[in-house]
Amino acid sequence: MSTDGKKQIAFLGTGLMGAPMVRCLLKAGFPVTVWNRNSTKAAPLVADGARQASTAAEAVSGADVVFTMLTNGAAVADMLFAQGVADAMVQGAILVDCSSIAPPIARENAQRLADHGIRNLDAPVSGGTAGAAAGTLAIMAGGDASDVEALEDVFAALGRVTHVGPSGAGQICKLANQQIVAVTIGAVAEAMILVEAGGASRAAFRDAVRGGFAESRILELHGARMIERNFVPGGASANQLKDLDAVMAMAADLSLTLPLTAEVRQEFSDFVQGGGAEKDHSGLLLHLEALNNKDQG
């Protein structure tokens, strides 16, 4: 604990989402130590007031709260248990994993951390890079309600937190969020193709339906990306596909039939395999345009 009573925070993974989250924590007055596998992504945060560590284990030493924002479940498990982060954390510290990983992996990590005397929340987020920068993320926390309450001041710097259930529940809710995001991106992209083929302006169409029943953050933000044809990733299509794969695996385990999710998952798979992996997930428009050009050809 720092001398002014502010919780000491370590943040592992300072990429597209992690870096703006760190800046929000710093603006709220928290002392933050950062680490990233590619150190050049963490270095700019020093100018904002962060301390940069040379190893992940060094970063978490003495921290009250450790955030992870990593690529996938394998990366989180490797960081925690192979690279010594769990061993370096102080007893009673709270690990807040904001990565999007499969619920069974989140539950396994929580159990292994408990064996080390470390509390754990799986707390994936929604809101993209814009929400991360503005401190308006939707945070879905799985774990003990008391741990969520204990970090109320920390979460307040990042957005709005909701305790959604026991360990793994945060990841389940994030997958459901990603279902809605993916299907809505597909719907907006198909609508853009339809209105243009029919002779209307895509930009005028988007303006016309704003505020009606079709309004959404996807229409607002990703609809604008589609019109501007700006597919620099805020959320990479490869990551969207990873989440959809996890949704379908969970659906299979629960004997659920999810036809819309299955279809959009296939479209993202084809887009990623065709070279769209690092394009923003709104870039699914490009795949659907190619399909229609092929049909018309």
Instruction: Clarify whether 174 is annotated catalytic.
Output: yes
Structure tokens at 26: 């710093």
* Cβ neighbours for 267, distance < 8 A, ≥ 6 positions apart: 186, 284, 287, 288
Cβ atoms of 67 and 10 within 8 Å: the answer is yes
Kindly name the residue from 6, 7, 27, 174 that is annotated as catalytic.
174
Q: What is the total residue count of the chain?
A: 297
Active-site residues, by number, are: 174
